Amino acid sequence: MIALLLLPLLLPWALPPLARRTAERLRPDIALVAVTGAAAALALGVVACLGVLLLPLALRLPGAAALVHLLRPLHAGPPVLVPVLSAVAAGALVVTATAVARGSLAEADRLRTAHRRVAGVPEAGGMCVLDDDRPDAFALPGGPRGTGRIVVTAGMLRALDAREREALLGHERAHLSSRHHLFLAVAALAGWCHPALAAVVPHVSFAAERAADEAAARTCGDRRLTARAVGRAALAATSRPAGPDLPVLAAGGTTGPVPARVRALLAQAPTRRVAPALLAMVLLCGAAGASSAAGAVWLHRGVEIAQGELPFE
């Protein structure tokens, strides 16, 4: 039965290819919610299963056994296998906690640096222009009012004509109004919890960029114009040395696989709401949840037996 608790640790490896297909074939706003939700659900299952796997080892300690009133040793599986798995789970939890702490601190530092970069820069209509020749544009969440702001450099404004600038700014406004930084934050957190889920982060970013592209195209009423603005902005950005590292939460108009974004904009607007990959993701999360719940119930029954509340079988 301990295999039930190992299954949720393996299922995340199936998510990256499903996330890629979902982000490519589904309407981007739906894909963004679906892929981010699946990553969060699987990450939660991973952490929960590691915690449950740690319990048999923890309850071997006299203090912990007395705390939960164990009358006899907890039987959680093969005597040779269980301590090893519990020790591995303890190590994995330490690694996960370290990755989450380090990643969160690094992201917070990049976010503070980005806000210091725009501190004191005049703002008009939620947008501020940096006096920087390097072409760049991104949606920076947070700030004094908590509503975020659009940051664009003078180099980017010079690289685009008036209509292209408006399309690019519409893209960044969509990032802020749709709170895409929250989806990116959840995806990053899930990626720190499991290496397979780290491979899902680019697909979440792609879905967020595609959703903002579609919103910009609807606003300006011209998909070809939006595609041209995205393409020219990306070419301008890659023609100069990269600027300071942006936080993961600061979605930018030149982020992700730009050729795929341009092709999607030049095609018909996506309308598909359900795809086989989406259904497969739902089944994947369901299997992880059911396996975790069954494993936890099985372990809880073992604890009750060790407490003398149930007869030993």
The pairs formed by 163-166 with CB atoms below 8 angstroms and a separation of 24 or more are 163/220, 163/225, 163/229, 164/225, 164/228, 164/229, 164/232, 164/233, 165/229, 166/220
Specify the amino acid at residue 16: P
Report the DSSP beta bridge partners of residue 137: 152
State how far the Cα of 146 lies from the Cα of 155, in Å rounded to an integer. Answer: 27
Phi-psi region of 243 (alpha: psi -120 to 50; beta: other; left: phi over 0): beta
Question: Is residue 19 within 8 Å of 35, Cβ to Cβ?
Answer: yes
The predicted model gives 201-216 an average pLDDT of: 94
Question: Is residue 208 within 8 Å of 58, Cβ to Cβ?
Answer: no
Write out the chain in H/E/C secondary structure. CCHHHHHHHHHHHHHHHHHHHHHHHCCHHHHHHHHHHHHHHHHHHHHHHHHHHHHHHHCCCHHHHHHCCCCCCCCCCCCCHHHHHHHHHHHHHHHHHHHHHHHHHHHHHHHHHHHHHHCCCCEECCEEEECCCCCCEEEECCCCCCCCEEEEEHHHHHHCCHHHHHHHHHHHHHHHHCCHHHHHHHHHHHHHHCHHHHCCHHHHHHHHHHHHHHHHHHHHCCHHHHHHHHHHHHHHHHCCCCCCCCCCCCCECCCCCHHHHHHHHHCCCCCCCCCHHHHHHHHHHHHHHHHHHHHHHHHHHHHHHHCCCCCCC
State how far the Cα of 182 lies from the Cα of 187, in Å rounded to an integer. Answer: 9
Question: Is residue 56 within 8 Å of 70, Cβ to Cβ?
Answer: no
- Assign 308 a pLDDT band (cuts: 50, 70, 90): low
- What token pair was written down for 19? 């996330």
**Closest CA relative to residue 50, chosen from 295, 312, 309:** 295
- Lowest-confidence segment of 34-38, 55-59, 183-187, 200-204 by average pLDDT: 55-59
Question: What is residue 57's predicted lDDT score, i.e. its pLDDT?
Answer: 64
Question: What is residue 256's predicted lDDT score, i.e. its pLDDT?
Answer: 78
pTM to 2 decimal places: 0.88
State how far the Cα of 162 lies from the Cα of 156, in Å rounded to an integer. Answer: 11
Specify the higher pLDDT residue, 208 or 2. 208
- Assign 7 a pLDDT band (cuts: 50, 70, 90): confident
pLDDT tens column, 237-267: 887 766 667 888 888 878 778 899 999 999 8
- Assign 83 a pLDDT band (cuts: 50, 70, 90): confident
Specify the amino acid at residue 98: T
Specify the higher pLDDT residue, 64 or 21. 21
Report the DSSP beta bridge partners of residue 149: 140
Question: Is residue 19 within 8 Å of 39, Cβ to Cβ?
Answer: yes
Specify the amino acid at residue 181: H
Question: What is residue 71's predicted lDDT score, i.e. its pLDDT?
Answer: 46
